[in-house]
A and B are shown apart, each in its own frame.
Chain A
Amino acid sequence: MSLLANTTILLGKELRTEFRSRELLTTTIVFILIVLVLFSFTFDPLSEEARRFGSGLLWLAFLFAASLMLQPCFLREQTNDTLSALRLSVSDPFAIFLAKLAANTLFLLLTELLLLPVFAMMYNVPVLPVLHWLVLIFFLGSLGISVVGTALSAISAQARMRELLLPLLLLPLLTPILVASTEVTGALLDRAPYVQWKGMGFLAVFDLVFLTTLWLFGEYLLEE
């Protein structure tokens, strides 16, 4: 069974499981909404500042939400030791990671796009003219978050205090994503919007670097 075939099958399982219960999606969406509302009390959301701070707050909200959303990723494979069943069935353990990170990227992207109009409304920021660019930056950023987050979730699932541990491990590692994504998004939401290609390129590099690292070391993360 090829890597691609196994990944597709597992991705199907991840999607089916999530769309049946929708627990991850709903809790993540609500969490980001809460964060956006709370942030609005820290400065004047309708002022010019909103345009400058808005993108940073948005990505901060995404990062916090992701660090919570990624926790069950490998924890739920511990309940019935289904991780062992997967390890026994697939030819390349990397398929397990690929499927999970693809699913996580999709879930993150979905929640981000659902919340974009809410964000635009609350902070009075025009998003329609740059929508396709926003989708691209959301994708690149979410992919990076998922790659690192999925790997670290495999680590934190095997330690104590795992609920607190994952954000602790994840957030410092994702600093480059926060920096680059905020810059690019800020440029897109500016009065005179423009595309920050350097930022986009940087994120692509980040994604590639960690995907490669995960490919090289993934099987050890799943060892017993």
Chain B
Amino acid sequence: MKNVLFVAVVVLLLGAGAYAALFIAPTDAKQGLIYRILFLHVASAWTGLTAFFISFIANVLYVWRRQPKWDWLGVSAAETGLVFTTVVLVTGPIWAHPVWGIWWTWDARLTSTFVLWLLYVSYLLLRTLIEEPDRRALLSALFGIFAFVDVPLVFGSIRWWRTQHPQPIIMGEPGSGLDPLMYKVLFFMWFAMLALMTLLLRQRYLLEAMRGDVETMRRQWEVA
């Protein structure tokens, strides 16, 4: 019952966010309708980073405490973050094409997001290549820590690179600013996305917990 309620809340929030993005936010003078994808694009980016941050904390906690639940949280948050990051990478070109005429502009933030995506795909790939659960949990947690520490360095270096090699920037210059109402819509959309993230995280976590239990039972049966 609680689960259904939560899903309903999330759907409502997302619906409200979509409505706000499409009808409440003011029209952009230059770009017309397509700019509205910004609310999905930027909110997803922030949500993805939030998920990866949760994964990082879970990784540190696992290395320190060695409780399986932190491992479950770590992988769930990483996968969830990857979903939102994929949305960012897909909405980027969708926005860029009508505006710039090209699909991929090598915009600094988008490129950094691509590297971020690759990092966490590697994290998941690493997990598939280690069979023993405790080893897998420890080694992927350690890699996750290195990966997250790298994130600000990736974004920083690519942003600096862009100052040397100017590219078309998706979503406008950081300084160009958004109308205050746009900010409100954006933050609301982010809030809705965080609710979605929590839902996905929780489902994935429960699935992983179940998998862990089944695996333990299977191994005990094998030994007997």
Q: In the complex, are the beta carbons of B129 and A161 less than 8 A apart?
A: yes
B200 close to A (CB within 8 Å): no
Give chain A nearest CB distance to B214 CB in angstroms: 22
B153 close to A (CB within 8 Å): yes
Give the total of B residues in contact with A, Cβ under 8 Å. 28
Q: In the complex, are the beta carbons of B130 and A223 less than 8 A apart?
A: no
Tell me whether A169 and B126 are in contact in the complex, defined as CB-CB below 8 angstroms, given that A210-B149, A213-B149 are known contacts. yes
**B119, B129, B131 — which one has the most chain A CB atoms within 10 A of its CB?**
B129
Give chain A nearest CB distance to B163 CB in angstroms: 9
B157 close to A (CB within 8 Å): yes
A206 close to B (CB within 8 Å): yes
A165 close to B (CB within 8 Å): yes
Q: List the B side residues contacting A209 at CB < 8 Å.
A: 149, 153
Bound CA span A198–B157, Å: 10
Q: List the A side residues contacting B118 at CB < 8 Å.
A: 172
**Chain B 100-132: CB-based contact to A (< 8 A → 1; otherwise 0):** 000000000000000100110010011001110
Q: In the complex, are the beta carbons of B119 and A158 less than 8 A apart?
A: no
Q: Chain A residue with minimal CB distance to B136?
A: A159
Q: Chain A residue with minimal CB distance to B149?
A: A213
Give chain A nearest CB distance to B193 CB in angstroms: 25
Q: List the B side residues contacting A29 at CB < 8 Å.
A: none
B61 close to A (CB within 8 Å): no
Q: In the complex, are the beta carbons of B142 and A173 less than 8 A apart?
A: no
Tell me whether A173 and B147 are in contact in the complex, defined as CB-CB below 8 angstroms, given that A159-B129, A180-B157 are known contacts. yes
- Can you list the 9 inter-chain pairs with the closest CB atoms, starting with the nearest? A176-B157, A159-B129, A172-B118, A179-B157, A176-B153, A160-B129, A172-B119, A159-B130, A179-B161
Q: List 26 A-B contacts (CB under 8 A).
A: A152-B146, A155-B142, A158-B130, A160-B129, A160-B130, A168-B125, A169-B122, A172-B118, A173-B119, A173-B146, A173-B147, A175-B115, A175-B158, A176-B150, A180-B157, A183-B160, A183-B161, A183-B164, A198-B160, A202-B156, A202-B160, A213-B149, A217-B142, A217-B145, A220-B63, A221-B139
A residues sitting closer than 8 Å to B (CB atoms) are 148, 151-152, 155, 158-161, 165, 168-169, 172-173, 175-176, 179-180, 183, 198-199, 202, 205-206, 209-210, 213, 217, 220-221, 223
B residues sitting closer than 8 Å to A (CB atoms) are 63, 115, 118-119, 122, 125-126, 129-131, 135, 138-139, 142-143, 145-147, 149-150, 153-154, 156-158, 160-161, 164
